[in-house]
């Protein structure tokens, strides 16, 4: 047993250069594969980020842009790679949120306003129905009296003015 | 501590924010259509006269329709413009 181990160790020691070469080669191959994968990944991400930024409406590449600052002075602003695109996306997200919020507010306000109107009008309609019923009844009574006497009197005219919504001339 | 002059200068650029396209539609009819119904002075009460049954019935029909229309117009104007036409004073 010990003799066999010793023989193996001897073989390894004799072929050390070769073995080292094989190990270094294996590591090199592994690193090469890793690098190739990383490159492909990077290229794909770069292409995709370009497409995404272009569809958001702002390029990904770094650029110097002439802008007007808060005081109204023109300055050249250097944007790092992706900075403009990031700003654009943030602005779009804010725009979307603002739109949703203001739309909801406008619709809620319109609904509240309508509810108030419905309540007020329902009250007015009820009052109108009651007023019409009482005015009609008063007119019927006055008219029956006028027919009986064959004469239009004070009561009939007053009932008529009330029914037609005319102003009382005595007031 | 950084001296103010040595601090990195940042350029303040106003970020343009788009205004949400929320439009409140106000479809208000012309003022002419928002006028309250006319309430003319009625017949004098001290008149004594005679009218045939048919004429009296016609007068009542017309007067009733006028009152109903005025009430409905008042409600409509109030719907479009709250509290524009108070209820007729009796």
Cβ–Cβ contact A163 with B under 8 A:
yes
Mean pLDDT of chain A: 90
pLDDT digits (tens, 9 = 90+) for A103-126: 899 999 999 999 999 999 999 999
Residue at token pair 């066999």: A4
pLDDT value at position B90? 45
- Which residue, among B11, B10, B2, B59, has the nearest Cα to A68 in the 3D structure? B11
Report if residue B6 sits inside a domain: no
Report if residue B21 sits inside a domain: no
Report if residue B70 sits inside a domain: yes
According to the 3-state scheme, what is the secondary structure of chain B?
CCCHHHCCCCCCCCCCCCCCCCCCCCCCCCHHHHCCCCCCECCCCCCCECCCHHHHHHHHHHHHHHHHHHHHHHHHHHHHCCCCCCCCCC
Distance from CA of B16 to the nearest CA of A (A): 8
Report if residue B56 sits inside a domain: yes
Q: How many domains does chain B have?
A: 1
Report if residue B23 sits inside a domain: no
pLDDT value at position B14? 61
- Which residue, among A91, A96, A99, has the nearest Cα to A57 in the 3D structure? A91
State pTM to two decimals. Answer: 0.64
Report if residue B12 sits inside a domain: no
Distance from CA of A108 to the nearest CA of B (A): 12
Q: Which residues of A touch B63 (CB under 8 A)?
A: 160, 163-164, 166
Q: Specify the 3-state DSSP secondary structure of A63.
A: strand
Containing domain of residue B90, as a range? 51-90
Alpha-helical regions (H) of chain A: 2-14, 16-56, 83-149, 154-163
ipTM above 0.85, yes or no: no
Distance from CA of B57 to the nearest CA of A (A): 9
More confident residue, B20 or A103: A103
Report if residue B46 sits inside a domain: no
Q: Which residues of A touch B15 (CB under 8 A)?
A: 87, 91
Q: Which of A108, A131, A148, A163 to mutate to test the interface with B (most CBs of B within 10 A)?
A: A163
Residue at token pair 């129905």: A129
Say whether B67 and A165 touch across the interface (CB within 8 A): yes
pLDDT value at position B86? 83
């Amino acid at each position: 047993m010990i003799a066999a181990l010793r023989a193996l160790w001897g073989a390894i020691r004799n072929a050390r250069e070769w073995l080292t070469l094989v190990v270094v080669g294996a590591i090199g191959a592994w690193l090469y594969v890793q690098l190739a994968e990383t490159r492909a990944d990077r290229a794909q991400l770069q292409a995709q980020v370009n497409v995404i930024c272009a569809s958001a409406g702002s390029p990904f590449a770094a650029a110097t842009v002439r802008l007007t600052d808060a005081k109204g002075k023109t300055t050249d602003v250097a944007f790092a790679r992706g900075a403009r695109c990031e700003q654009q996306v943030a602005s779009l997200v804010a725009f979307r949120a603002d739109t949703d919020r203001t739309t909801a507010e406008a619709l809620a306000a319109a609904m509240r306003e309508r509810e108030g109107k419905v309540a007020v009008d329902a009250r007015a309609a009820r009052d109108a129905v009651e007023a019409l019923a009482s005015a009609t009844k008063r007119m019927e009574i006055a008219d029956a009296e006028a027919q009986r006497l064959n004469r239009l009197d004070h009561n009939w005219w007053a009932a008529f003015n009330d029914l037609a919504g005319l102003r009382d001339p005595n007031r | 501590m950084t001296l103010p002059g040595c601090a990195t200068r940042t350029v303040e650029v106003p970020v343009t924010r788009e205004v949400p396209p929320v439009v409140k539609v106000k479809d208000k009819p012309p003022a002419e259509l928002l006028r309250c119904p006319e309430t003319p002075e009625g017949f004098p009460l001290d008149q004594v006269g005679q009218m045939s049954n048919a004429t009296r019935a016609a007068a009542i029909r017309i007067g009733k329709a006028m009152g109903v229309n005025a009430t409905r117009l008042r409600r409509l104007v109030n719907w479009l413009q709250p509290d524009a036409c108070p209820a007729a004073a009796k």
